[in-house]
């Protein structure tokens, strides 16, 4: 199950966050504070409209980056639905939030499929894809795990993958790691802090 996968990086981040919570000068994120992390600094892939994209394209907004795949039965659609709910809950500030979905299944997730999939949640969401090698590089940069799980036929495989979102502040810096299953409320809380410049 994807929800059972926890990377060493995530455990380290949790330990770091435990130490940081004692400092009242730091923002009280409900997710894991990744401020100053030495990873998740680059993301260079192609969007669903064929445009080359990087993290710099999303500066000025709080960006929610999630690695998943369109045929995911549970974690991915739930997460994207929560991000869409967060945008609505923020009212006018929802326009300052950018959802970014990075596919870990480039063999099946074509640009057209990504576009249709994300439009069902929010038409502003950006879907990123690349070659197998580019996908591996992006996952490595974010310390994201993913692996193909064989199905009954070669075409019906599933993907185990890290089930979490990364929040970037409007300056384009990774700030928060949000574990799957927390719900929309912690996302709203942490995004409000980032929008306030914390």
What pLDDT, on a 0 to 100 scale, did the predictor assign at position 17? 46
Please give the structure tokens belonging to residue 195: 């929008």
Total number of domains constituting the chain: 1
- Please give the residue that has the higher pLDDT: either 14 or 41: 41
Please give the structure tokens belonging to residue 73: 């039965």
List the domain range (segments joined by +) for residue 46. Answer: 2-195
Give the pLDDT band of residue 20 (cuts 50, 70, 90).
very low
Rounded distance between C-alpha atoms, residue 65 and residue 167, angstroms: 7
pTM of the model: 0.86
Q: What are phi and psi of 44, to 5 degrees?
A: -125, 95
Cβ-based neighbour number of residue 194 at 10 Å: 23
Q: What are phi and psi of 120, to 5 degrees?
A: -70, -15
Q: What are phi and psi of 142, to 5 degrees?
A: -95, 0
Rounded distance between C-alpha atoms, residue 19 and residue 105, angstroms: 36
User: Which segment of 13-27, 76-90, 130-144, 166-180 scores lowest on mean pLDDT?
Assistant: 13-27
Q: How many residues belong to the chain?
A: 198
Percent of the chain with pLDDT over 70: 87
The CATH code of the domain that includes 99 is 3.40.30.10
pLDDT value at 175 more than 60: yes
Rounded distance between C-alpha atoms, residue 117 and residue 108, angstroms: 13
């Amino acid at each position: 199950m994807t929800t059972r996968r926890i990377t060493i990086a995530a455990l380290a981040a949790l330990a770091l966050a435990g130490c940081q919570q004692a400092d009242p000068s730091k923002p009280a994120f409900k997710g894991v504070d990744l401020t100053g992390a030495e990873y998740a600094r680059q993301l260079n892939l192609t969007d669903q409209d064929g445009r080359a994209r990087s993290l710099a394209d999303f500066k000025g907004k709080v960006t929610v980056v999630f690695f998943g795949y369109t045929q995911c039965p549970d974690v991915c659609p739930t997460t994207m639905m929560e991000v869409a709910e967060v945008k609505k809950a923020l009212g006018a500030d929802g326009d300052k939030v950018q959802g970014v979905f990075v596919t870990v299944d480039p063999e099946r997730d074509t640009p057209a499929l990504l576009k249709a999939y994300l439009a069902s949640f929010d038409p502003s969401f950006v879907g990123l894809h690349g070659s197998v090698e580019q996908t591996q590089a992006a996952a490595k940069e974010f310390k994201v795990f993913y692996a193909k799980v064989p199905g009954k036929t070669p075409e019906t495989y599933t993907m185990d993958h890290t089930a979490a979102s990364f929040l970037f502040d409007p300056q384009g810096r990774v700030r928060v790691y949000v574990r799957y299953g927390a719900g929309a409320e912690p996302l709203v809380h942490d995004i409000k802090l980032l929008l306030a410049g914390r």
